């Protein structure tokens, strides 16, 4: 997903570091985000921040108010003195700052045109393989969480990078399931609505660290920026652009997930939607998408069979899941273990559909050892998929 940004942004500058500095400063401006992104596409040199001719030309070509462009450039000049500190803080946070003029800038974001973010903060490694977005409600029920987990794990096992927004509910279920795939080598990318150093959702630092270790955390917002309601619709365009397709699992009729889906459609991406109960408000958004032509998402394996040729070629070109050396000299050992774990999770979730069960009942029904069942139930409880009741009974979580 990375390429030479100059090939699609038109930004070519001999003094690369000066342009990077100007873009980082411009990105730190607390102003109209759309204007900041559009002006950044016109920037050719640091001196443009103080050039009234550049301001006039940018305002004319963007059909933007001249006074607003001047105000934005003036604010960016004031931020220039903070760029060195921003770079130092990013390094301390283990993050890389990638700008429009850097080779590591994702080429997929070029499809956003004037809305492409001028700067990205990335913690971890942004995967070069094909990505697919899975999004949905923060208030997902057990059905939604189970479906998101099922799709994310199977698709990640096939080599796709699972992209989502790191919110509680569907997003985090998709991230965790992707990380559990392919002998624990599944890939995921979380696009944030705040600075990389902000613990949001609260108490999610451990999950964020795991994603950064085996995937990537991505944001366009500078370090220290707190989440704001308008940040999330803004960040959704990045989720939509990074994936070749999007799946909406659970979404109300006025949901941020629908914004992601419509942005994906505008970008020419495929949109899938998971059908649910007609009586559920959390399925209303997905049903609206299905009514308007979204593809029903009924089975991850069926989805894999319809992947575009370019995506299939991207998957085929990737390295094997695990080498013999990675498995400690025992070929297939870790892969078999991970497959068994994923299968046990699926079987446990299916067994709990008809009501609460004790670990002993589940172990007997599934012919599994009780210690393994207890360990899997504990992990599912942490993930919010099951709940423990009095009498050591476990049941699917309902919200």
Instruction: Read off the pLDDT of residues 67-108 as tens digits, 9 standing for 90 and up.
Output: 999 999 999 999 999 999 999 999 999 999 999 999 999 999
pLDDT per residue as tens digits for the range 138-161: 988 899 999 999 999 999 988 999
CB 227 within 8 A of CB 200: yes
CATH of domain 131-316: 3.40.50.450
CA distances from 339 to 140, 156, 193, 323, 326 (A): 26, 12, 33, 16, 16
Please name every residue paired with 123 in a beta bridge, in sequence order, or none if there are none. 95, 217
- Residue percentage of the chain with pLDDT more than 70: 88
Of the chain, the percentage scoring pLDDT greater than 90 comes to: 64
Helix orientation angle between 142-157 and 170-184, rounded to the nearest 10 degrees: 40
Highest mean pLDDT among 4-13, 125-134, 226-235, 332-341 belongs to: 226-235
pLDDT (0 to 100) of residue 56: 97
Adjacent-strand bridge partners of 393: 389
Domain locations in the chain as residue ranges: 12-124, 131-316, 333-396
What is the per-residue pLDDT for 398? Answer: 64
Where are the alpha helices (H) located in 230-388, listed in sequence order? 231-242, 256-266, 284-291, 300-305, 309-316, 333-351, 359-366, 370-382
Show the beta-strand stretches assigned E in 152-257: 161-164, 188-191, 216-219, 245-248
Strands 216-219 and 119-124: antiparallel
The pLDDT value given to residue 349: 83
pLDDT of residue 323: 36
Average pLDDT, stretch 5-11? Answer: 45
343 has pLDDT over 80: no
C-alpha distances (whole Å) from 60 to each of 41, 53, 115, 140 are 14, 11, 17, 46
167 near 134, Cβ under 8 Å? Answer: no
Give the angle 49-54-57 at the CA atoms, nearest 5°: 145
With 50 as the cut, is the pLDDT of residue 385 above it? yes
Tell me what pLDDT residue 182 has.
77
Is the predicted pLDDT of residue 325 greater than 80, yes or no? no
pLDDT tens-digit profile of 161-172?
A: 999 999 999 999
Distance from CA of residue 165 to its chain's centroid?
5
Q: Residue 268 contacts by C-beta under 8 Å, 6 or more apart in sequence? A: 111
pLDDT of residue 8 exceeding 70? no
pLDDT at 10 over 70: no
Q: Are strands 386-389 and 393-396 parallel, antiparallel or unpaired?
A: antiparallel
Stretch 126-144: mean pLDDT, rounded? 91
Q: What is the largest CA-CA distance in the chain?
A: 77
Residue 2, pLDDT score: 41
327-340 tens-digit pLDDT = 333 333 343 344 44
* Residue closest to 257 by CA, chosen among 153, 167, 173, 149: 167
| CB contact set of 202 (below 8 Å; sequence gap of 6+) | none
3-state secondary structure of 330: coil
Q: What is the pLDDT of residue 55?
A: 97
Cis peptide before 349 (omega within 30 of 0): no
Q: What single-letter DSSP state applies at residue 321?
A: S
User: Of 51-55, 337-341, 368-372, which gets the smallest average pLDDT?
Assistant: 337-341
pLDDT for the residue 13: 45
- What's the pLDDT score for residue 318? 61
Distance CA 173, CA 324 (A): 30
- CA distances 260 to 105, 184, 283, Å, are 21, 28, 16
Across the chain, what does the average pLDDT equal?
Answer: 87
pLDDT of residue 306: 87
* Mean pLDDT of the 271-276 span: 96
- The architecture in CATH of the region 333-396 reads Orthogonal Bundle (1.10)
Give dist(CA 240, CA 135) in Å, integer. 10
Regarding predicted confidence, which is higher, 351 or 7? 351
């Amino acid at each position: 997903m990375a390429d030479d940004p100059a090939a699609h942004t038109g930004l070519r500058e001999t003094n690369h570091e000066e342009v990077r500095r100007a873009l980082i400063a411009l990105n730190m401006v607390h102003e109209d985000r759309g204007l900041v992104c559009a002006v950044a596409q016109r920037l050719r040199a640091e001196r443009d921040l103080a050039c009234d001719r550049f301001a006039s030309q940018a305002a004319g070509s963007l059909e933007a108010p001249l006074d607003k462009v001047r105000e934005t450039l003036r604010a960016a000049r004031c931020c220039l003195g903070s760029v060195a500190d921003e770079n130092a803080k990013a390094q301390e946070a283990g993050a890389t700052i990638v700008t429009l003029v850097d080779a590591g800038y994702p080429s997929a974001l070029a499809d956003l045109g004037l809305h492409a973010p001028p700067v990205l903060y990335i913690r971890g490694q942004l995967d070069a393989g094909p990505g697919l977005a899975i999004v949905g409600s923060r208030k997902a029920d057990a059905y939604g969480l189970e479906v998101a987990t099922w799709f994310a794990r199977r698709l990640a096992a096939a080599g796709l990078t699972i992209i989502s927004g790191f919110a509680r509910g569907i997003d985090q279920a998709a991230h965790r399931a992707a990380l559990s795939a392919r002998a624990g080598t599944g890939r995921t990318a979380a696009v944030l609505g705040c600075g990389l150093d902000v613990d949001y959702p609260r108490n999610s630092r451990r999950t964020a660290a795991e994603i950064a270790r085996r995937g990537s955390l991505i944001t366009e917002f500078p370090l220290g920026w707190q989440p704001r309601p308008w940040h999330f619709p803004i960040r959704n365009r990045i989720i939509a652009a990074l994936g070749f397709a999007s799946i909406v699992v659970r979404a109300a009729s006025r949901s941020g997930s629908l914004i992601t889906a419509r942005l994906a459609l505008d970008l020419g991406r495929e949109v899938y939607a998971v059908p649910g109960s007609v009586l559920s408000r959390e399925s209303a958004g997905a049903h609206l998408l299905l009514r308007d032509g979204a593809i029903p998402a009924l089975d991850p394996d069926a989805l894999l069979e319809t992947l575009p040729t370019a995506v299939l070629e991207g998957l085929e070109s990737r390295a094997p899941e695990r080498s013999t050396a990675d498995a400690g000299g025992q070929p297939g050992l870790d892969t078999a273990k991970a497959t068994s774990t994923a299968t046990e999770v699926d079987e446990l979730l299916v067994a709990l559909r008809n009501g609460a069960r004790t670990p002993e009942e589940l172990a007997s029904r599934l012919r599994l050892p009780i210690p393994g069942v207890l360990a899997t139930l504990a992990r599912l409880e942490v993930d919010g998929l099951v709940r423990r009741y009095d009498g050591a009974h476990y049941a699917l979580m309902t919200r």
